[in-house]
Structure 1
Amino acid sequence: MLGLKRDTGFTLIEVLLTIVIIAVVFISISGYFANSVIYTHQAGKRAQAVKIAADTMENIKLACINDWDTLNLSYYSEIDNLIDSDYSLKADDFKINSRITGNIDIDGDGNNDGRLITVVISWDGSKKEIELKSLVVKK
């Protein structure tokens, strides 16, 4: 037998070094995924706020068509009015503020033919908000 003894294994230092390298890579990647979960949740709430703002604006435009003179925007400032709609609210802390920010006389006859409408949706205790503005013209 001609010396069949071979050194074919890993030393303890090589194994420990491999574990340390894998741990460093895993920790940095797990931090990235944890942040992506947070950003995805925030983006979902923002998308939901945009949908609520757009739907509220469309409801206001419809109300302007139906009854221009006695438009009451306080009705469109309550989240409870949206419960019957197709919303799946992820949080119940959305606040809606809708107001007429200006009247416009488009044709110069002295009558208000247009209204500037602003819808503001805030959430997370009013820390974050989006604002949607539109011009609504009398038919």
Structure 2
Amino acid sequence: MNANHILSIQRAGNGLIVHENDACQVYETRQHRATAMREMLQRIAAVVVNTMETTKLDVRIEVRDRTTGEEAETSPPSLWLSPDDVEREYNLPQRYLEQLRRDNIGPRYSKPTAKQVRYRRSDVEDWLTNAYQPTQDQPCS
């Protein structure tokens, strides 16, 4: 691996494009972006580990607004989500989440206080992945 190993990530219409020196890989972000993001981060981690074995590691992360070119403000995603966060990020209505909790069939959750419910992001994404049912062909009647 050369001394100037460069990774760049761009948002595309339906996903992310990761440029690695002269190669590029497209990661589609369909209904739930967790899988694509996980694959992309695993690829980046592999590059970082390989780079560390052969060269001094110099990591710089820049997030820029595509229209202005100015550095964008970023914050890491929260580990814990409120029902409102789950509704906003995963399009699962709060009333539906209440019903899932009552029926004990939804994603795992925590109750830090009597009136507060929190979901771990990974539990919501795991539950969504396990609840996924592929469409099956059905004969017309």
State the TM-score, normalized to the length of structure 1: 0.22
Structure with higher RCO (Cα < 8 A, 6+ apart)? 1
* Bigger fraction of residues in helix: 1
TM-score by length of 2: 0.22
Higher gyration radius (CA) = 1
